[in-house]
Structure 1
Amino acid sequence: MSGGTLKSHRRRELREFLMSRRARVSPGEAGLPDGGGRRRTPGLRREEVAVLAGVGASWYQWLEQGRDISVSPQVLDAVARVLRLSNAERRHLYLLAGLNPPAAEVAPDKREMCEGLRRLIDAWMPYPAHIMDRYYNGVMYNEAAATVLGMAPGRRWNCLIDFFTDPMYRSRSRSWEENASSVVAQFRALCSANPDDEGFQEVLAEARACSPEFAALWERRDIEDAGQIRKELDHPLVGLLCMESSVMQMPVRPDLSIVLHTPLDEANTAAKLEWLASPEGRRGAMYPVAG
């Protein structure tokens, strides 16, 4: 699609989107008297949206018509408020208007997703899976993650801090040296995208204070997007495990990341993980590997 065609498509989508959102909001929902009469079309009129958003009627009409006008984030936010847009709809409005969208937020009705996420990682058994927040703090994990990666209830667990400070993980990870730079580069990318977030700064300060190796890698200023990392671990019961760790995100919960470990076709890893999850393997799993 050429630049001109794409721009024309966005303007058309912007017009249809604003009209459809405007039709959803009744005068009463917007705090206006309904006038007691029937409207020819449902929802708010263009002039009412303009007044409630604090913009000129002509300007809003031009916006809804998709004209090439100057648009600011503040004005779009005012329009989004009047039209009662969700965070996803607000981001969509920004994109259609040609602006960089605001950061994704967790919708209030999506904050309680723990049961669904628990089902997701439990369904990944017998392979390790866990969920962490934006600061790499552990949120939940499945049984395989406890057996293979040493995650345990009642223990404060941060994937970045533990990677550099847990001596058991360090001693049993054959891929530690290879992965360390990627772990730091991916965390730096998150910090750079959230420069005013104190949570990242707190984790960063702790990591720099407790690990000279982290501090040295941090000074290299490498940047990587989160993706996949190969992990090789020596488990005391089954020996070498070769896995691929994949970080995945759900747009509806941008504050969380799902980390799935997939066995590679090496060292008979899949069969070993299946054995560790069996009743016999559970009885023998007395020496978990940290991770």
Structure 2
Amino acid sequence: MTSEASAVTRREQLSDFLRNRRARLTPGDVGMAAVGRRRTPGLRREEVAVLAGVGVSWYTWLEQGRDITVSADVLDAISRVLRLSEPERAHLYLLAGHNRPQAAGSREAAVSQQLRNLLDAWTPRPAVLRDRYWNLLAVNDAARTVFGFGDTDHNCLIAFFTNARYRGMHVQWTTVAPAVVAAFRADAAHAPDDPELTRVIEDLSAISPEFTELWARHDVGVPAQAVKAVHHPEAGDLLFDTTTLTVADHPDWHLVLYNPQPGTGTGDRLDRLVRARFATPA
């Protein structure tokens, strides 16, 4: 399918989706008085337009699947009027040709106990949960022990450049750093106007000339899987296969799992390290 044909299909699906969601609501659902008989169920187009603060003709064109430009603010307004759930709001964004939006309140959302249990169950292997900004939402004890995350480490990109212990354990840090920054740039491209992403970039640029130089290269890269090599001061060389999984009900959260690379002795050294660190005193 050509890009033009794909765009036409997407606009047709957008048209069907808006009409379907409009038909679910009554004037009373949105605090309006019902006036006159209605030939079809649901809100009228002009009612949605008024409540969303957009022109009636413009909203009609949108619902008809015409090729018009729509902003994220307008999509959010329509989402509120149509009482869309977060998955429905994300679907509306995608049909309108936008990147998936940040879920409302996602930065403040608490990490569920089920996710924390999963991270703990991965021990003695390291595991971390991060968001789209690479903020650390949860870290298991093995990751703290193996990678040297401290209580003041709240963002894994910033820790990579500023935490001396975390940075010092990375084998060939100068070789790895460009790929790390390139992966972050790829993530940042999904929300170029997000103030939190801008803050991370500005804060790190202010304290790390190395990051500033790498960021200026505009390199982009998103490895689906990678090998993480560290030299731990107690356990020696540790090699991990890294897999990043997206959390289904929080698409901007990513679970990063580190598995000892077979044939390297990492598993045995890791077991001894974590067991010694968390052994219960007799």
On whether the aligned pair clears a TM of 0.5, the verdict is yes
Structure with the greater alpha carbon radius of gyration: 1
The 2-side partners of 1:84 and 1:275 are apart by 53
Q: Contact conserved, 2:126 with 2:143, CA < 8 A, in 1? A: yes
What does residue range 1-291 of structure 1 map to in structure 2 within 5 Å? 1=1, 6=6, 9-34=9-34, 42-53=41-52, 60=59, 63-66=62-65, 68-73=66-71, 76-97=75-96, 99-101=97-99, 103-106=101-104, 111-152=109-150, 154-191=151-188, 193-225=190-222, 227-250=224-247, 252-278=249-275, 280=276, 282-283=278-279
The question of whether the paired residues in 2 share the 8 Å contact of 1:136 and 1:160 is answered with yes
Deviations 1:192-227 (A, max 9, x none): 555544444444344344444333333333222364
Q: 1:165 to 1:88 in 2, by over 3 A?
A: same
- Given that 2:149 and 2:166 are in contact with CA atoms closer than 8 Å, whether structure 1 keeps it comes out as no
Distance 1:28 1:118, change over 3 A: same
Write the distance in 1 (CA, Å) between the matches of 2:26 and 2:4: 35
Distance 2:214 2:56 in 1: 55
The structure whose RCO (Cα within 8 Å, separation 6+) is larger is 1
Judge conservation of contact 1:110–1:253 (CA < 8 Å) in 2.
no
d(CA) in 1 for partners of 2:60 and 2:198? 44
Runs of 4+ in 1 over 6 A off after TM superposition: none
Deviations 1:13-50 (A, max 9, x none): 3343223212322221211124698x775432445334
Alignment coverage as a number of residue pairs = 279
Asked whether the 8 Å contact 1:175–1:230 carries over to 2, the reply is no
Distance change (3 Å), C-alpha of 1:7 and 1:76: same
**Identity of counterpart residues, as a percentage?**
43
What is the deviation of 1:242?
0.6
Q: Output the TM-score relative to the length of structure 1.
A: 0.75
Give unpaired runs (5+ residues) of structure 1. Answer: 285-291
Is the CA contact 1:133–1:256 (under 8 Å) kept in the aligned structure 2? yes
Separation in 2, partners of 1:65, 1:240: 61
**Is the CA contact (8 Å cut-off) linking 1:226 and 1:247 kept in structure 2?**
no
Structure 2 residue runs of 5 or longer lacking an equivalent are none
TM-score, normalised to structure 2's length? 0.77
Shift of 1:8: 5.5
Which amino acid in structure 1 is aligned with residue 47 of structure 2?
E
Distance in 1, matches of 2:189 and 2:62, equals 33
